[in-house]
Amino acid sequence: MTENAKRKTKLEKISLPVEGMTCASCVARVEKSIKKINGVEDVAVNLASEKASLSIDKSKVNIADLKKAVEEAGYKVNLSLFEKDEKYSSASEDSAKVSGSDLLLKKDFLFALILTIPIFIISMIQMFYGIRETIPLSYSQLNKILLILTIPVIFISGKRFYKIFWNNLKRFTADMNSLVAVGTGAAFSYSVIITLFPELILKTGEVPHVYFDTTVVIITLILMGKWLESRAKSKTGSAIKKLIALKPKTALIKTAEGEKVININELIIGDIVIVKPGEKIPADGKIITGYSTVDESMLTGESFPVEKTLESRIFGGTINRSGTFEFEVSAIGKESVLGKIITLVEDAQGSKAPIQKLADKVAAIFVPIVIVIAILTFILWIILGGTNSFTFALINFVAVLIIACPCAMGLATPTALIVGIGKGAENGILIKDGEHLELAHKVKTVLFDKTGTITEGNPVVSKIITNGYDENELLKLAASLEKRSEHPLAEAIVNFADRKGISIPDPNEFESTTGSGLIGKVVDKKIIIGNKNFLSNYNVTLDYFEAKAYELSSEGKTVIYVAIDGKSAGIIAIEDPVKKTSADAIQKLKSLNIRTIMITGDNKRSAGHIAKQLGIDYFEAEVLPADKSNIVTKYQKKGEIIAMVGDGINDAPALAQADVGIAIGTGTDVAIETGDIVLIKGDLMGVVNAVKLSKATIRTIKQNLFWAFIYNTVGIPLAAIGLLNPMFAALAMAFSSVSVISNSLRLKKLKL
């Protein structure tokens, strides 16, 4: 093992729940703080999921170090959620519920709203002289009332902004909270001075004008936006919630004392579980008694129930439809297929796509630049404003700060990724990270392994032709030798004989030549089975079958010759049936302007037949498994983004070499661990859907980033030149984040 490989094996991937992040600047700050720690790699902080995904070397760093780094950056690690997640108990279930912080956000918003309404009404009264004259209170008295009503909004509902601003100030950093705090704080402070010490600013005879309404409306609107944003963000994680909801709460197990209902968290490997019709299966295992049909659609996307008999593998979270059966538990919690899928989807949703790098770079310098622009705006309006220049400068200063809050920019990419990856999981498409979700939409050529990918991977006998022998007799003699062989083609012949109800005798003699054929004695008859060359070596004349064998092999079938007592007796044609959806998938990929290429070890004639049958653009025949990765490299050298589709086991080198490795699987451990995208259901339509999902997700991200950048690019100049009232700026800022999340949520309606 290389030093690099040894080092990699020490790394453990963890996910830290981080609280208090509000914008892209926060994300950049948390990432920067964690990256400084020795022993930490691959840090990705996600604003939408409020988690930091990272790999750590436990010999160099511990959770306390990470917690300290996050807190020094001004944020908080929720260790209670982290510990639950480590045990795989109910951490994700907790996240599926309304969190305490969300309830506090709602309470702060409603409290601010109750006080903002009278503040706004009183401020409006002051502006209309006709109404103003009917009220027996002076401007000074009304201002004092406004001050009293505003203070609770500032120090209770708005406390969060000022607290984070103060912590940032101590660290010489700034974020969205800093912009809100400085903007509203400046308007409030100015209004307090006018209310309590007007002689310090106002000239004799001036009508005092305060901005308490501006201050509270900004805070209320931003809190409203944050609350709506929080509610919308919770919907982006609905895929995880659906997966979690698949887990039953209890299991019925067999014990020495009889049947017993236990909590699912008490299940251990080796337990015997009884599952009745309509119940959810609580864990992975193998059936030991009984049979049934099981609905696996929640894992595979397959709508038809799957028949399960003795020794059949079953998966936790799937639903038993008909019979009652018992199974032995083989995997639980995070080690179960459902557990691995949940972990995989959570990790993927916490990853970053390369397209996000631009937003991250901008966010890192955005807030400091905005503060400079706001200060310059204030200074210029002081110089150029003339009468009431200070008031006008202050309002424009506040407007620039509020309109510039980069919340939408920070949410543009992660929300779309969370929804897109979740949508894939709901349809049996597991995308391991944002990078490969983005790459998939750039794929120009897809290479397909044939066996088990384009075809079913289960050879079957399709035709038997004899030369004067009874077909069943020939099959009985051939199956007698073949049942001693471990070759997949031998299994096809034996299974065919079993299905026909033929009794298969044991051979008297048996000898195998690997890759060529079998020879032996069955019921005193000498039997030779194998390819054409093998039988020719024993001087068996095969002219009788030559034309028919050529025709069958041209159709992609494998021809097995059978000789009895030195004479050619018949041929058995075996084929690996093409999956029902393969042809449709190939045509749909071509309609997306993607070239399709098949890689197979078959001879050129057989490969050509299948390629023509399915409409595949090109094929590479007679390819050894070890050479598949070289084929991928050959096409990559042409400058194309290449996807390789294989069964995830013997195609592993080619999958690793491809830009996007797509593993065909049935929810097995190997399939989940192989490839960048895993198709739980062995259906090539999953490749089409993965590409469509990638294109839709990247399109949504680009839309989000466009509106986020345009919003700030247009809004800041308008605010600076005095064309944008701070309250309208707050309203626009509040809804910018909600609009970005809402746009991402449209991906849930994508038809795959």
CATH number at residue 611: 3.40.50.1000
What's the CATH number where 284 sits?
Answer: 2.70.150.10
Digit-coded pLDDT (tens) for 694-731:
999 999 999 998 888 888 888 899 999 988 888 888 88
Region 72-91 average pLDDT: 63
**Residue 96: inside a domain:** no
Region 226-253 average pLDDT: 78
Tell me, what's the pLDDT at 244?
Answer: 73
Residue 93 pLDDT class (50, 70, 90 cuts): very low
Do 433 and 486 fall into the same domain? no
Region 8-12 average pLDDT: 64
Do 343 and 326 fall into the same domain? no
Region 263-278 average pLDDT: 92
Do 445 and 585 fall into the same domain? yes
**Residue 447: inside a domain:** yes
Q: Which residue has the higher pLDDT, 131 or 389?
A: 389
User: Among 644, 674, 691, which residue terminates a domain?
Assistant: 691
C-alpha–C-alpha distance, residues 697 and 420, integer Å = 6
Digit-coded pLDDT (tens) for 489-511:
888 999 999 999 999 999 999 98
Q: Which of 445-454, 496-505, 638-647, 670-679 has the lowest mean pLDDT?
A: 670-679
Tell me, what's the pLDDT at 87?
Answer: 45
Digit-coded pLDDT (tens) for 381-431:
988 876 678 888 889 999 998 888 777 877 888 889 989 998 998 888 989
Do 670 and 697 fall into the same domain? no
Q: Which residue has the higher pLDDT, 572 or 96?
A: 572
Do 69 and 122 fall into the same domain? no
**Quick check: is 175 catalytic?**
no
**Residue 93: inside a domain:** no
Do 452 and 582 fall into the same domain? yes
Do 613 and 651 fall into the same domain? yes
Backbone angles phi, psi at 729, to 5 degrees: -65, -40
pLDDT above 90 (res 104): no
The domain total for the chain is: 6
pLDDT above 80 (res 174): no
pLDDT above 60 (res 22): yes
Question: What's the first-to-final CA gap in the chain, in angstroms?
Answer: 42
User: Among 301, 331, 361, which residue terminates a domain?
Assistant: 331
Alpha helices in 445-518 (DSSP H): 471-482, 488-499
**Residue 397: inside a domain:** yes
**Residue 241: inside a domain:** no
Do 452 and 469 fall into the same domain? no
Tell me, what's the pLDDT at 96?
Answer: 41
Tell me, what's the pLDDT at 28?
Answer: 81
Is residue 713 classed as helix, strand or coil in its secondary structure? helix
pLDDT above 50 (res 35): yes
**Residue 94: inside a domain:** no
Region 59-75 average pLDDT: 86
C-alpha–C-alpha distance, residues 504 and 506, integer Å = 7
Tokens, residue 82: 């982290």
pLDDT above 60 (res 94): no
Tokens, residue 538: 């024993």
Average pLDDT taken over every residue of the chain? 85
Q: Are 302 and 681 in contact (CB under 8 A)?
A: yes
C-alpha–C-alpha distance, residues 560 and 576, integer Å = 14
User: Among 331, 354, 378, which residue terminates a domain?
Assistant: 331
Do 486 and 570 fall into the same domain? yes
pLDDT above 60 (res 627): yes
Backbone angles phi, psi at 584, to 5 degrees: -65, -40
Q: Which of 86-90, 278-282, 315-319 has the lowest mean pLDDT?
A: 86-90
pLDDT above 80 (res 133): no
Is residue 61 classed as helix, strand or coil in its secondary structure? coil
Do 125 and 168 fall into the same domain? yes
pLDDT above 90 (res 606): no
pLDDT above 90 (res 635): yes
Do 685 and 745 fall into the same domain? no
What's the CATH number where 501 sits?
Answer: 3.40.1110.10
Q: Which residue has the higher pLDDT, 86 or 509?
A: 509
Considering only CA atoms, which of 368, 408, 444 is closest in space to residue 172?
368
Region 622-626 average pLDDT: 80
C-alpha–C-alpha distance, residues 45 and 52, integer Å = 4
Tell me, what's the pLDDT at 383?
Answer: 87
127 CB-near residues (< 8 Å, 6+ apart): none
**Residue 413: inside a domain:** yes
Do 197 and 109 fall into the same domain? yes
**Residue 318: inside a domain:** yes
Backbone angles phi, psi at 273, to 5 degrees: -110, 135
- Sheet containing 558-564: which strands, arranged edge to edge? 460-466, 567-575, 558-564, 525-530, 517-522, 509-513
Q: Which domain holds residue 474?
A: 460-575
Residue 683 pLDDT class (50, 70, 90 cuts): confident
Element (H, E) at 287: strand 284-290
Q: What percent of the chain has pLDDT over 90?
A: 34
Considering only CA atoms, which of 735, 732, 734, 727 is closest in space to residue 218?
727
Residue 515 pLDDT class (50, 70, 90 cuts): low
Residue 662 pLDDT class (50, 70, 90 cuts): very high
Active-site pick, 213, 360, 449, 676: 449
Tell me, what's the pLDDT at 667?
Answer: 47
> What single DSSP character describes residue 264?
G
Burial class of 502 by CB neighbour count within 10 A (0 to 12, 13 to 18, 19+): middle
Residue 129 pLDDT class (50, 70, 90 cuts): low
User: Which of 33-42, 186-195, 685-694 is the most confident on average?
Assistant: 685-694
What's the CATH number where 66 sits?
Answer: 3.30.70.100
pLDDT above 60 (res 441): yes
C-alpha–C-alpha distance, residues 252 and 195, integer Å = 71
CA of 355: how far to CAs of 44, 117, 439, 549, 740, in Å? 14, 42, 10, 55, 16
Tell me, what's the pLDDT at 300?
Answer: 65
